[in-house]
Amino acid sequence: MKLGCAGVLMLPPFYYKGVSDEGLYRNFSEVIQRVGDDRLRLYLYHIPPVAQVPITLGLIERLLNAYPQHVVGIKDSSGVWNHTQAVLDAFADSGFDVFVGSEVFLLQNLRAGGVAASRRALMSTHTHRRGVRSWQSAEAQTLQAKADSVRKVLQSVPMLPALKAVIAHFADDSAWATVRPPLVELSAQARADVIVTLTGLGFDMPD
């Protein structure tokens, strides 16, 4: 908060598996209370494929009831649309922001009352930004298909190193290609292949 962050994306504690909603509630609650700052905006991070600790609808409801000013949204990286739809059905009308972790669900999320997609979509290619802005238009499905094609390229190699390599190339800033262990940067050939393929798809990034 002192550094002016607009919000924080917060994982559940995930070292211990099979913990109860009560335990998770206490964890989030203690963080909010210890920060003790009305400016705090907390986004829950539901990513069971990695954390293996889910953020349930019941937990979201309890946190919203206790901390409506602070708990303002969720990033749903479950990869399961039915779960995202359930979150939207339960909480979107209350102003709770629902982001999807994969732009594959970008158009569905926007049409169902969600906010956007994150990671690759928020890397903000013109196609993705147009998709967010034009989700009610006739071209929305075409833009979604373009976003899907970009994702297909990126997931053909290790995703995070690929994202950083792409940003480094299109932003002309080699520092972006740096990854931290245990991740390893793409090989020169893999990086070149990704760039060539994306360029062929008409991929670009804003200035």
Q: For position 54, which CATH number holds?
A: 3.20.20.70
Task: Confirm if 140 and 106 have CB atoms less than 8 A apart.
Answer: no
Candidate from 5-9, 186-190, 202-206 with smallest mean pLDDT:
202-206
**Interatomic CA distance for residues 185 and 10, integer angstroms:** 26
How many angstroms from the chain centroid is the CA of residue 60? 17
Asked if residue 7 belongs to a domain, the reply is yes
Asked if residue 10 belongs to a domain, the reply is yes
Where in the chain does DSSP place strands (E)? 8-10, 42-46, 71-76, 97-100, 116-117
Asked if residue 56 belongs to a domain, the reply is yes
- Using a 10 angstrom Cβ sphere, with 0-12 exposed, 13-18 middle and 19 or more buried, the burial of residue 97 is middle
Q: Quick one: which of 46, 32, 27, 28 has its CA closest to 1?
A: 32
Q: Which amino acid is at 97?
A: D
Give the pLDDT confidence score for residue 105 in this predicted structure: 80
Asked if residue 4 belongs to a domain, the reply is yes
Asked if residue 183 belongs to a domain, the reply is no
CA angle 43, 49, 126 (to 5 degrees): 60
Give the pLDDT confidence score for residue 39 in this predicted structure: 95
122 pLDDT higher than 50: no
Q: Which domain holds residue 80?
A: 1-101
121 pLDDT higher than 70: no
Task: Confirm if 197 and 172 have CB atoms less than 8 A apart.
Answer: no
Task: Confirm if 69 and 35 have CB atoms less than 8 A apart.
Answer: no
* Pair of tokens at residue 70: 């602070």
**pLDDT tens track for 145-159:** 777 788 888 889 998
Asked if residue 207 belongs to a domain, the reply is no
* Pair of tokens at residue 19: 């913990």
Give the pLDDT confidence score for residue 188 in this predicted structure: 95
Domains contained in the chain, number: 1
Mean pLDDT of the chain, nearest integer: 88
**Which of the two residues, 206 and 203, has the higher pLDDT score?**
203
**Interatomic CA distance for residues 81 and 95, integer angstroms:** 20
Asked if residue 50 belongs to a domain, the reply is yes
Asked if residue 111 belongs to a domain, the reply is no
Q: In which element (H, E) is residue 57 found?
A: helix 57-66
27 pLDDT higher than 50: yes
